[in-house]
Amino acid sequence: MENFEFDEPKYFYLLAILPILLLLFLINLYWQRKKQKEFGDLELLKQLSPEKSTFKPVLKLVVALLGLGALVLALVNPKIGTKMETVKRQGVDIVFAVDISKSMLAEDIAPNRLEKSKQVVSQIINQLGSDRIGIVGYAGSAYPVLPITTDYSVAKMYLQSMNTDMVSSQGTALGPALKLASSYFDDPQTSKLIIMLSDGEDHGEGFEEALEEIKDKKIKVITIGIGTEKGGPIPLRHNGVIEGFKKDMNGETVITKLYPETLKTIAKNANGGYVFGGNTKAVIDYVKNGLDNLEKTDFESQQIADFESQFQWFLGIAFFLLFLDVLFLERRTKWVRKLNLFNEEKS
């Protein structure tokens, strides 16, 4: 069974040029007919230019459109894969648990805590080889964002789409986040790692129970503190413009802070470690060192192999048709005229 994929699907929008060219041709044809009627009798004009073909301009347009269409397909570069193969990989299973509570909008760390978390996770992914990864988002409750996968490009796409509106219940519940992240691991033989990014505020329950579950499953946890202990307000934005800051019931501006002790407790009880997330390079080095100390596990995955680019065929067709279009003249071809294939009137 053949499988198709497109290397550069963004170029499909260029196909919109084809109907525009067709419309321009029809407008030009209408304008020519109108001017010819103003100049004189159409039958008389045909007799004055007996070699002019009424079909050739249409043929030239069709050939040109087909050539341009083939050129666009060459840019898109269709690929065909026909072979399924089992690929052996060696690595660990990693689940990123990203805090998406409103407090992560605080800008005490640039550009804000949530965007900083995304940058850190993205940089960690860039350093991975063949490890499997998953993503969990959490605030007052936990939300599965991406199941375990080896497709890093898809993981980054889902990561960038994360925002504070994904979870309706606000607050920060670290327990449910740890429970959901631990449920992602489907292979008991694989080394397991949860990388939790948060400001450490915990307003939930079930914290100790989640830690016990993690211990039983032999899951290691690295926690990354995002924010500052001095803290900062939570901006309220409308159309990207700050209109104020979040206030408490007494009308006082809420100052959200980093609570590293909570994150250190999690890491210590899960045989992991804590690192401050302000310096991205330091975080990457710390995580890389932690991964180096984990035992890598062999696992297999099925994937379609031998995808071959097909752009050269469409490029060849495009050049042939466009070259043919240049050779076509708008006057009648003598031997075709004799055959009268297109029912053109003979003068």
Asked if the structure places residue 314 within a domain, the reply is yes
Per-residue model confidence (pLDDT) at position 150:
86
Q: How many domains does the chain have?
A: 2
Asked if the structure places residue 48 within a domain, the reply is yes
pTM strictly above 0.85: no
Are residues 128 and 72 both part of a single domain? Answer: no
Asked if the structure places residue 300 within a domain, the reply is no
Residue 108 sits in a domain whose CATH number is 3.40.50.410
320's tokens: 């042939």
- What are the phi and psi torsion angles at 64 (to 5°)? -65, -40
Asked if the structure places residue 243 within a domain, the reply is yes
Are residues 100 and 238 both part of a single domain? Answer: yes
Alpha-carbon distance of 336 to 100, in angstroms, equals 72
Alpha helices in 184-279 (DSSP H): 207-216, 260-269
Asked if the structure places residue 42 within a domain, the reply is yes
The residues of the chain scoring below 50 in pLDDT are 335-336, 341-342, 346-347
Domain range enclosing 246? 93-295
Task: List all residues 6 or more positions away from 112 whose beta carbon is below 8 Å from its beta carbon.
Answer: 104, 105, 106
Per-residue model confidence (pLDDT) at position 347:
45
The whole-angstrom distance between residue 99's C-alpha and the CA centroid of its chain comes to: 21
Are residues 212 and 243 both part of a single domain? Answer: yes
Are residues 331 and 284 both part of a single domain? Answer: no
**Containing H/E element for 275?**
strand 273-276
Asked if the structure places residue 13 within a domain, the reply is yes
Per-residue model confidence (pLDDT) at position 89:
67
Are residues 74 and 107 both part of a single domain? Answer: no
Alpha-carbon distance of 53 to 345, in angstroms, equals 10
Are residues 166 and 56 both part of a single domain? Answer: no
Are residues 41 and 156 both part of a single domain? Answer: no
Are residues 117 and 183 both part of a single domain? Answer: yes
**Containing H/E element for 308?**
strand 308-309
196's tokens: 């939790």
- Quick: pLDDT tens for 257-310: 999 998 999 999 998 999 999 999 999 999 999 998 887 776 665 555 566 788
Are residues 70 and 141 both part of a single domain? Answer: no
Q: Which residues pair with 99 in a beta bridge?
A: 138
Asked if the structure places residue 221 within a domain, the reply is yes
Asked if the structure places residue 346 within a domain, the reply is no
Alpha-carbon distance of 258 to 134, in angstroms, equals 25
Per-residue model confidence (pLDDT) at position 39:
64
- With H, G, I as helix, E, B as strand and everything else as coil, classify residue 91: strand
- Quick: pLDDT tens for 301-326: 555 556 678 889 999 999 998 888 87
Question: 94 to each of 63, 72, 87, how far by Cα in Å?
Answer: 54, 40, 19
The closest of 116, 133, 221 to 174, measured between CA atoms, is: 221
The whole-angstrom distance between residue 254's C-alpha and the CA centroid of its chain comes to: 35
Are residues 28 and 135 both part of a single domain? Answer: no
Per-residue model confidence (pLDDT) at position 137:
95
Are residues 66 and 124 both part of a single domain? Answer: no
Are residues 56 and 20 both part of a single domain? Answer: yes
